[in-house]
Every structure is written in structure tokens, then in C-alpha cells.
């Protein structure tokens, strides 16, 4: 690797670390917010903040929000919006560390989809890495414990949709700007959340109190206690995902991707500092297995592409 490429990759790594620090910070506030408003209202109000921000920046020529090819961007946005629906929904019931463990099964899904539908062979090392990461996710989710529930499995579904979105991004959205994809994603989250609220209005289900009603709660006018979390989430997500996307554009993807796992560290540290949430020994081992398996998958995939 040349000195220029090394410098670019180092810059990409720092951008990724910055993005993961931001995401690890802001996503910790979903749990407290779930006490006040519902998942669908959160996604709508977050989009109402984020999309105009992107449009305003585009008007000043800072970035562009117009996709070059609408169909793949729409497909990508739909898949990732479904993934975020499961991920954010889980955060109303389980700690961030467990939700991240499920979401980070996405490299496993990417590898499996690539092998099944594109006919690309999977090496023994990669299969071994899949087993490591999956075992690690199960350990962090504590499927053998008394606290395991269906909510604990929701982030794994999120990882499945995130993986499909990542494949579409890689194969069909390489010419799109990060800002255009972000604007489309937030817009799709708005649409799906609006449809969910309409369905809830017709079904009128019984809504549990507190965070237990996060998914079933209709629109509420008592959302003002959470206004600062909505702003923090909207702008923090823009910065975090923007840095992450830029990191992949600047540095060598197979190396930069490894630093994406720093979100486990940041998420856990912020959870401890803000809310006193801790990670036990076996969950720590699970994190290590997820990271090790993910690094093997990323490095082996990058080598084969090269």
C-alpha cells in the first residue's frame, strides 16, 4: 500500500471511529425516549428534522440530495428503513449493546446471500468466522437467560434487512452521494411510519404504559419532554452516518470496515456513563467473538475482491 493510500485509509479509519462514536452516543437515548413517544412518531419527527436539514444544505451547495438513479436508491432505502424499524423498535425493550450485537450479524447475512445468490464461493475461514460471529451474537443477546424475549431477536432481523440494503448499495448505488441516500432513507422511514400510524388508528390496540408501549403507541401530543432527544437523534444520525459513508469513500473498505466495530466500545461506554448499564463477562466474550468473526469476514472478502 502506497503512502498516499495509507494516509487515506488512516483518515477513513478516523472518520469511521468518529461516526461510530456519534452513533454509539445518540442511540443510547432511544430507551428513555420510548417512555414518552412511540416508534412511529419518533421516525416521523426525526425525518421532519433531518430531511429539511439536508435540503437546506443542498440549497447552499454544500451537498446534493438528488439521486442519479431513483430505482436502486428507492430499493435500498426501503430495505434499510425496514431494518431500522426492527433495530429502533428493539431499543425500546433491550439495551443498546444487545441491539448492536443483533444488527452486526449483517456481515454474516451479506456473506450468505453472496454465496447463495451470486455463486461466489465461501472459504473455510469465512464459514468459521460466520460461526464465531453468530455464537457471539447469541451470547450477547443472552438467549439462554431469563431475560431473553422476542424483542431480543428483533435486531437480528434488522441485520438481515441491513445486509440486503448493503448489497444493493454496493452493487447499484456506487455513484450516489451519501447525502442523496440519506435523504431518501429518512423519507422512506417517514412513509413507513405514517402507514404504521394509519394502521394503528384503525386497529386501536391496547397500549401498555411506558417503554412497553413503544411499538403500539399512536401519535401523542405529549412529546415535548423528548424534543431534545429528537433533535439529538436526527442531527447526530446525519453526522454519524455521513462520517461512516465518507470513511468508505476515502479509505480502503476492507480495512475501514474493521473500525465500524468500535461502536460496541462507544455504545457500551456511553451506556455505562449515562445510564449505569453494564456488560457481563460472557457478553464481553460475545462481543469479542462478533468482532473477531467480522474482521475475518471483512479481510477475507477484501482479499478475494482484490
Structural contact between residues 17 and 23, judged by C-beta atoms closer than 8 angstroms: no
pLDDT number for residue 305: 39
Domain count, the chain: 1
pLDDT number for residue 306: 37
Confidence tier at 21 by pLDDT (50, 70, 90): very high
Please report, for residues 60, 71, 126, 202, the alpha-carbon distance to residue 91 in angstroms, rounded to integers and kept in the order given: 35, 30, 30, 25
Range of the domain at 132: 3-305
Confidence tier at 302 by pLDDT (50, 70, 90): low
Q: Is 272 exposed, middle or buried (0-12, 13-18, 19+ CB in 10 A)?
A: middle
Other Cβ atoms within 10 Å of 135 Cβ, number: 15
Give which of 43, 77, 23 is closest to 239, Cα–Cα: 23
pLDDT tens digits for range 148-184 = 777 888 999 999 998 898 888 878 887 888 889 999 9
Cell of 18: 468518529
The size of the chain, in residues, is 306
Q: Which residue has the higher pLDDT, 150 or 74?
A: 74
Q: Which residue has the cell 461506554?
A: 269
pLDDT number for residue 97: 87
Cell of 97: 449493546
Amino acid at each position: 500500500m502506497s503512502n498516499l493510500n495509507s494516509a487515506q485509509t488512516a483518515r477513513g479509519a478516523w472518520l469511521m471511529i468518529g461516526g461510530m462514536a456519534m452513533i454509539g452516543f445518540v442511540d443510547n437515548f432511544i430507551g428513555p425516549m420510548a417512555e414518552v413517544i412511540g416508534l412511529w412518531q419518533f421516525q416521523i419527527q426525526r425525518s421532519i428534522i433531518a430531511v429539511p436539514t439536508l435540503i437546506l444544505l443542498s440549497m447552499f451547495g454544500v451537498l446534493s440530495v438528488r439521486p442519479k438513479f431513483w430505482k436502486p436508491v428507492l430499493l435500498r432505502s426501503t430495505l434499510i428503513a425496514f431494518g431500522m424499524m426492527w433495530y429502533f423498535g428493539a431499543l425500546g425493550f433491550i439495551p443498546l449493546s444487545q441491539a448492536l450485537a443483533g444488527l452486526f450479524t449483517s456481515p454474516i447475512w451479506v456473506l450468505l446471500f453472496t454465496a447463495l445468490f451470486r455463486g461466489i464461493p465461501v472459504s473455510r475461514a469465512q464459514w468459521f468466522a460466520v460461526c464465531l460471529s453468530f455464537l457471539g451474537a447469541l451470547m450477547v443477546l443472552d438467549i439462554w437467560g431469563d431475560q431473553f424475549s422476542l424483542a431480543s431477536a428483533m435486531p437480528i432481523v434488522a441485520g438481515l434487512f441491513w445486509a440486503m440494503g448493503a448489497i444493493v448499495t454496493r452493487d447499484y448505488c456506487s455513484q450516489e452521494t451519501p447525502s442523496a441516500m440519506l435523504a431518501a432513507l429518512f423519507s422512506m422511514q417517514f412513509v413507513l411510519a405514517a402507514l404504521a400510524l394509519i394502521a394503528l388508528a384503525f386497529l386501536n390496540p391496547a397500549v401498555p404504559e411506558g417503554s412497553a408501549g413503544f411499538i403500539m403507541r399512536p401519535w401523542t401530543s405529549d412529546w415535548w419532554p423528548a424534543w431534545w432527544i429528537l433533535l439529538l437523534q436526527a442531527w447526530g444520525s446525519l453526522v454519524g452516518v455521513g462520517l461512516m459513508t465518507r470513511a468508505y469513500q476515502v479509505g480502503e473498505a476492507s480495512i475501514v470496515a474493521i473500525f465500524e466495530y468500535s461502536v460496541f466500545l462507544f455504545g457500551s461506554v456511553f451506556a455505562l456513563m449515562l445510564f449505569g448499564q453494564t456488560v457481563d463477562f460472557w457478553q464481553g466474550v460475545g462481543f469479542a467473538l462478533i468482532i473477531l468473526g467480522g474482521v475475518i469476514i471483512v479481510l477475507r472478502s477484501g482479499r478475494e475482491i482484490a
